[in-house]
Amino acid sequence: MSSGQESIFSEYETDTSQTSKLLRKFKETPFVPIGMAGFAMVVGYGLYRLKHRGDMKMSLHLIHMRVAAQGFVVGAITCGVLYSMFQEYVVKPKE
């Protein structure tokens, strides 16, 4: 093996922990982890409110929580796409 290939493999082996992968993904596309965190927060809030839902039916409560979680994720994905388009077409200098 040449020295160039050895450095590539050693760099890959050191960058395989879950934390480093998550940090790299957050730097590349910051809205994906934000969408995942928002989804988890909506689910947590839904589970908390499940106990105090009053006379609301269970199915109606679950539908509301599902719509809220999906809305947060779709909003985060939309913001991410708009952000990447802004970076690609507005900020990036024309060649």
Domains of the chain by residue range = 10-90
pTM over cut 0.85: no
Kindly give the residue spans of alpha helices, DSSP state H, lying in 15-57: 18-28, 31-51
The pLDDT confidence band at residue 10, using thresholds 50, 70 and 90, is low
CB atoms inside a 10 Å sphere around CB 83: 13
Q: Identify the pLDDT of residue 80.
A: 85
Q: What is the rounded distance in angstroms from the CA atom of residue 30 to the CA atom of residue 35? A: 9
Q: What is the rounded distance in angstroms from the CA atom of residue 95 to the CA atom of residue 76? A: 30
pLDDT digits (tens, 9 = 90+) for 34-92: 878 888 888 888 888 888 878 888 889 889 888 988 888 888 889 888 988 888 888 87
